[in-house]
Amino acid sequence: MISRSTIDRIFESARVEEVIGEFVQLKKAGSNFKGLSPFTDEKSPSFMVSPVKQIWKDFSTGKGGNSVSFLMEHEHFSYPEALKWLAKKYNIEIEETEQSDEQKEQTNERESMFLVSNFAKDYFHNLMLNTNQGKAIGLSYFKERGFTDETIKKFQLGYCLDEWDNFTKAALAKGYDLKYLASTGLSIVKENKQFDRFKGRVLFPIQSMSGRILGFGGRILTADKKAAKYLNSPESDIYHKSKILYGIYQAKKEIARQDNCFLVEGYTDVISFNQSGVENVVASSGTALTSDQIRLVNRLTKNITVLFDGDAAGIRASIRGIDLILEQGMNVKVVQFPDGEDPDSFAKSHTNAELKEYLETSAQDFINFKVSLLLKDSNNDPIKKATVIRDIVTSISKIPDGIQREVYVQECSRIMDISERVLFSELAQLLKKEATQRNKPSSNYTNNADPNEPPAEYFYEQEQSSMALVKGVQISSQKVDQLSILENEIIKILLLYGNEEVDFSEEVSNIDEDGKETFSNRKYQNLVCAEIYLHLQEDEIEFTNPLFQEIYTEMIHQLNQSEKLEIDKFINNKNLDIATTVTSILMDEEKYQLSNWGGKSIEVKSAFEVLPKAVSDVIYNLRRILIDRLVDEFLVQGKEYTNEEKEEIMSYNSLRIRLSEKLKRVV
């Protein structure tokens, strides 16, 4: 277990903007930073980071918190794992304790898979560097490929002995469960036999953006035609081939710094580029490019350069990925290497300066590249040329930005010598067709539905009314819970302004000599937290929302201890529900910066300017709602009331009217 003092040191050292900046490209927005949500597919920034408050909020999903909660949400770390990651980043010594057998059993399955994958990475790497067979076979292969010791260490390359169960035996001897060796695909288990999946192969560990080992790619070293040249880990709970890019962990900082990402195909392409000084490079690992992979890059930069081998046939097979990139609203450039060359071979046969110069001077816009590539096959055939034009306009239709589409249409018109009017007409038809397909009734596209899920028409929400049709039954939508909204507002005022001392006024009743009652205002100063506490205490009010009550109880405890609220204790609370709720409330004030209202000459009035009234209003409204509920309890249809009950109801109604006058409400 990590000591409290160590945890405090971690929170004191960690800077939320630095931590999140390793995963998301952040741009300055006033005193804050903003960026694209790392949890959803979006085109406009809805993700905000506050360096002053040391918190973040994703307005598209509602998630928020501090550095630890971000790592838990984004990387699926446990609380101790997130703390250890931060401790490592900020060079804070942390006490590690050996897990007991009982603790190992309690570790969740995903974590167990990560642990055994990390052990495998270290085992294969050390075996290659420190055994005779490893050096003679695995290490010599990488040396022949021109990789230096530094590069081999950076990518943690390894080798699995050409023996049936060398690794499996070693893992079992260290206490790792065969269940997780099988679920990660490191070992193949059949009846009473188990053997190594990657036997006789050199290994490329595949890491997440945070550096966790997700799986492996293995290359065979023999000329066995029956065996696949490359073999990847099978799909598992931690490894999804379509959602990861090889090299993203090593490349993320350079991608964000240079605001560009080079996309290649294979492991060795990435490694060779890194060794040549081009570190902002990732690979799709031989698979067709997917939207999930593109979104990984999109978190770090809007610019991507796709690198193609000199093989024309291979280019045509891969060029479809460009449309996927365009759909994500990214800027695409293309570099094609000379015939017979690929990124790996070109990097090895040229100096670092020559490689960088070639990448810079050979990069061309996707439309010019696509035109030059496809026109080679047309041979001036008008029909084939028309097909090429339609293909290019189809790519342009994928671009979400209307202005960019128009610029590309003009460029296509110039290159292909065809009128813009015709191109715009074709583009309009494509856009209309796509819109029609998106808006088709759900019953028309159930062919590819998951057989385990009900068809789309099984659940239908009618947004135009306050009723909903769920599984064929009409149900009324819930009433807005006004009490919960007011409780939220009280917590918000306490968090944002609880320690502020401001001028308040209260109504004082005066009785003159004739017994006539008059009212006057008395002004006084008080802390906002003390003012709210006194009013709630006077009315003996408790929150109906259990989470708000828990937060409020802790606030009162802090007030009694030090007469001051310590907001950090809520932000860094181990209870993620409290941390997330508090963060969400604190960051709501920053939301306007995402729309840059100030830059549009729209004044956003500070809540601090009207703080006394805000405190009074929320207290009066809370009393009004509670009185309404008391009156509702009294008013039972058909009931005969006693004179005493009638007087009590009249008293409540009189109080309602007074409160409404204060709030300028019509009763």
For domain 248-437, the CATH class is: alpha beta
Looking at residue 286, its pLDDT comes to 67
Q: Identify each DSSP E strand in 324-380 by its residue range.
A: 331-336, 364-365
Are 504 and 612 spatial neighbours (Cβ–Cβ below 8 Å)? yes
Q: What is the pLDDT of residues 194-216, one digit of tens each?
A: 999 999 999 999 999 888 999 99
Residue 152 pLDDT > 60, yes or no? yes
Residue 666 pLDDT > 90, yes or no? no
Looking at residue 479, its pLDDT comes to 39
More confident residue, 599 or 267: 267
Looking at residue 262, its pLDDT comes to 97
Residue 597 pLDDT > 60, yes or no? no
- Average pLDDT of the chain? 82
Rounded distance between C-alpha atoms, residue 70 and residue 57, angstroms? 9
- Residue 630's Cβ-count burial label (10 Å; 0-12, 13-18, 19+) is middle
Residue 445 pLDDT > 50, yes or no? no
Strand order in the sheet with 27-29: 27-29, 32-35, 47-50, 55-58, 64-65
Q: Is the pTM of this model over 0.75?
A: no
Which of 76, 74, 75 lies closest to 61 in space, CA to CA? 74
Residue 260 pLDDT > 90, yes or no? yes
Looking at residue 576, its pLDDT comes to 77
Rounded distance between C-alpha atoms, residue 498 and residue 607, angstroms? 13
Segments making up each domain of the chain, as ranges: 4-89, 108-238, 248-437, 482-627
Residue 448 pLDDT > 50, yes or no? no
Residue 177 pLDDT > 60, yes or no? yes
Looking at residue 159, its pLDDT comes to 98
Looking at residue 485, its pLDDT comes to 85
Residue 150: what residue type? E
CATH topology of domain 4-89: DNA Primase; Chain A (3.90.580)
DSSP collapsed to 3 states, 518-582: EEEEEEEEEEHHHHHHHHHHHCCCCCCCHHHHHHHHHHHHHHHHHCCCCCHHHHCCCCHHHHHHH
Count CB neighbours of 580 within 10 A: 22
Residue 129 pLDDT > 90, yes or no? yes
Which of 12, 76, 30 lies closest to 209 in space, CA to CA? 76
Residue 325 pLDDT > 70, yes or no? yes
Task: Assign 245 a pLDDT band (cuts: 50, 70, 90).
Answer: very high
CA angle 88–93–95, rounded 5-degree value: 105
Judged by average pLDDT, the poorest of 187-191, 284-288, 347-351, 431-435 is 284-288
Looking at residue 468, its pLDDT comes to 33
CATH topology of domain 108-238: DNA primase DNAg catalytic core, N-terminal domain (3.90.980)
- The kind and range of the H/E element at 497 are helix 482-497
Residue 79 pLDDT > 70, yes or no? yes
Judged by average pLDDT, the poorest of 122-126, 133-137, 328-332 is 328-332
Looking at residue 451, its pLDDT comes to 34
Q: DSSP labels for 180-210?
A: HHHHTTSEEEETTEEEETTTTEEEEEEE-TT
Looking at residue 606, its pLDDT comes to 55
Task: Assign 464 a pLDDT band (cuts: 50, 70, 90).
Answer: very low
For 309-313, the CB contacts below 8 A with 24+ separation are: 309/265, 309/337, 309/341, 309/342, 309/343, 310/336, 310/337, 310/338, 310/339, 310/340, 310/341, 310/342, 311/339, 312/373
Looking at residue 203, its pLDDT comes to 98
Looking at residue 456, its pLDDT comes to 32
Are 364 and 338 spatial neighbours (Cβ–Cβ below 8 Å)? no
Strand partners, 501: 527
Pairing of strands 517-527, 281-283: unpaired
Rounded distance between C-alpha atoms, residue 359 and residue 333, angstroms? 10
Question: How long is the chain?
Answer: 667
Residue 235: helix, strand or coil by DSSP? coil
Q: Which two tokens stand for residue 202?
A: 């050199």
Q: Which two tokens stand for residue 218?
A: 């293995």
Are 27 and 33 spatial neighbours (Cβ–Cβ below 8 Å)? yes
Looking at residue 106, its pLDDT comes to 52
Highest mean pLDDT: which range of 318-332, 579-593, 609-623: 318-332
Looking at residue 368, its pLDDT comes to 83
At 305, phi and psi to the nearest 5? -115, 120
Same fold yes or no, 4-89 and 108-238: no
Task: Assign 441 a pLDDT band (cuts: 50, 70, 90).
Answer: low
Q: Which residue has the tokens 């694209």?
A: 36
Looking at residue 455, its pLDDT comes to 33
| Mean pLDDT value of segment 387-397 | 88
- The kind and range of the H/E element at 343 are helix 343-349
Q: What percent of the chain has pLDDT over 70?
A: 82
Looking at residue 501, its pLDDT comes to 84
| Mean pLDDT value of segment 463-484 | 41
Rounded distance between C-alpha atoms, residue 69 and residue 572, angstroms? 9
Task: Assign 305 a pLDDT band (cuts: 50, 70, 90).
Answer: very high
User: Which residues, other chains included, contact 258 with Cβ-Cβ below 8 Å and sequence gap of 6+?
Assistant: 280, 301
Count CB neighbours of 581 within 10 A: 23
Please, what's the b/e burial string for 272-282 (b: 16 or more CB within 10 A of its CB; e: otherwise)? bbbbbebbbbb
Which of 74, 165, 121 lies closest to 113 in space, CA to CA? 121
Judged by average pLDDT, the poorest of 199-208, 373-382, 620-629 is 373-382
- Residue 65's Cβ-count burial label (10 Å; 0-12, 13-18, 19+) is buried
Rounded distance between C-alpha atoms, residue 46 and residue 41, angstroms? 11
Q: What percent of the chain has pLDDT over 90?
A: 34
More confident residue, 562 or 138: 138
Judged by average pLDDT, the poorest of 166-180, 395-409, 584-598, 616-630 is 584-598
Task: Assign 480 a pLDDT band (cuts: 50, 70, 90).
Answer: very low
| Mean pLDDT value of segment 141-157 | 97
User: Which residues, other chains included, contact 371 with Cβ-Cβ below 8 Å and sequence gap of 6+?
Assistant: 388, 392, 412, 415, 416
Are 161 and 200 spatial neighbours (Cβ–Cβ below 8 Å)? yes
Are 334 and 369 spatial neighbours (Cβ–Cβ below 8 Å)? yes
Looking at residue 95, its pLDDT comes to 67
Please, what's the b/e burial string for 135-169 (b: 16 or more CB within 10 A of its CB; e: otherwise)? eebbbebbeebebeeebbeebbbbbbbeeebbbbe
120: left (phi over 0), alpha (psi -120 to 50) or beta: alpha
- Residue 364's Cβ-count burial label (10 Å; 0-12, 13-18, 19+) is middle
More confident residue, 363 or 631: 363
Q: What is the pLDDT of residues 507-563, one digit of tens each?
A: 777 777 777 777 777 788 888 888 888 888 877 778 888 888 888 888 888 888 877
Residue 67: helix, strand or coil by DSSP? helix
- End-to-end CA separation in angstroms for the chain: 58
- The kind and range of the H/E element at 504 are strand 501-511
More confident residue, 193 or 512: 193
Q: What is the pLDDT of residues 24-41, one digit of tens each?
A: 999 988 889 999 998 887
Q: What is the pLDDT of residues 264-288, one digit of tens each?
A: 999 999 999 999 999 999 998 767 8
More confident residue, 411 or 625: 411
More confident residue, 624 or 602: 624
Looking at residue 271, its pLDDT comes to 97
Residue 256: what residue type? A
User: Which residues, other chains included, contact 16 with Cβ-Cβ below 8 Å and sequence gap of 6+?
Assistant: 49, 50, 51, 54, 55, 56, 66, 67, 70
